[in-house]
Amino acid sequence: MAMRMEVDVDALFKAGKILEDALELAWKLLDHGERSGLKIADAVEAHILEHAKPAFPCNVGPDRLAAHFAPTDDRPGSLEGAHLVKIDAGVHVDGWIADAAFTYPFDEEGERLALAAREALLAAAEVIRPGASVADVGKAVSEVAKRHGLKPIVNLGGHEIKQYDLHAGLFVPNVPQGKGTLEEGMIVAVEPFLSTGRGRVEDGSIATIFSLMRPRARGAARQLLDYIRREYRSLPFAEKWVVRRFGSSARLHLYTLVKSGAVYAYPELLEVPGSLVGQFETTFYVDRDGGQPVVDTFKFLAP
């Protein structure tokens, strides 16, 4: 068995505190009436950059848009008329990543989803300990969903995290299935996604988040690829980041890199039209006493 890399716990929890403060900023902006997804994401990322680096772009997900949308200058992501919005962000300190999210409700229907997702995360937190199976975590989430008349999204879930590796091996489902066991010293993000729809997402037509696959390119796109490799390594990055850095031509070069297989494009993930998706997430450090939350997302929507 391969030896587990020793975690820099101080760096991990430092990342968690920076992220917690950034998410609190987003919550306050929403409370004060901000309805531009782009302005919220920019504020979150600016706060993170004052203290560390983003582990991935700030995701803004209204209603049925479950994940993988980072607002751009061309697509600012208006939240007007939405029932809810999910804000999902990440921070890394020397590659040690904290990943967390909350759902902000705009009305009673949105509040039902948000409260249920928060309850599901609390239920999952009770299960996390060395020796627990990922199916146990999924069972805790799905039981909460069932009590609220909602469906857990079967093809979304949490994930193990390693240094500079956001999705590292272990998948943590939102349903009672899957293989794998939590071990002492693991870092895991747990993120219940609950839905009023069918409980499954599909790829949309828009991609605003990307990551490096292989550092090979020719021609004009080579400069952009070299920058991506140096600045982000294998961590996800936003289209708007490179466009703001290199100008509008970066968009063309970016899609050239996607077409060649040098860069991967993450399509937005959507539930069926008319449905709503709620999400709450935090990162846990698994020690002998259980799962220690790296980010306190439970305070959002607290009674």
**pLDDT (tens place) for every residue of the chain, 303 residues total:** 445 679 999 999 999 999 999 999 999 999 999 999 999 999 999 999 999 999 999 999 999 999 999 999 999 999 999 999 999 999 999 999 999 999 999 999 999 999 999 999 999 999 999 999 999 999 999 999 999 999 999 999 999 999 999 999 899 999 999 989 999 999 999 999 999 999 999 999 999 999 999 877 777 788 999 999 999 999 999 999 999 999 999 999 999 999 999 999 999 999 999 999 999 999 999 999 999 999 999 999 987
| Biggest CA-to-CA distance, the chain | 56
Which DSSP category does 183 fall into?
-
Asked if CATH classification 3.90.1150.10 holds for the domain at 205-267, the reply, yes or no, is no
Which positions are annotated as active-site residues?
A: 88, 99, 159, 167, 191, 281
Helices in 128-206 by DSSP H: which ranges?
134-147
Q: Output the CA torsion 296→124→178→113 (10° steps).
A: -80
Q: Give bridge partners of residue 209 from the DSSP assignment.
A: 238, 266
CA–CA dist 226, 211 (Å, integer): 13
**CA dist 126 → 121, 123, 161 (Å):** 9, 5, 20
Q: Which residue type is seen at 65? A: L
- Domain positions in the chain are 9-201+273-293, 205-267
The CATH H-level (homologous superfamily) assignment of domain 9-201+273-293 is Creatinase/methionine aminopeptidase superfamily (3.90.230.10)
What is the length of the chain? 303
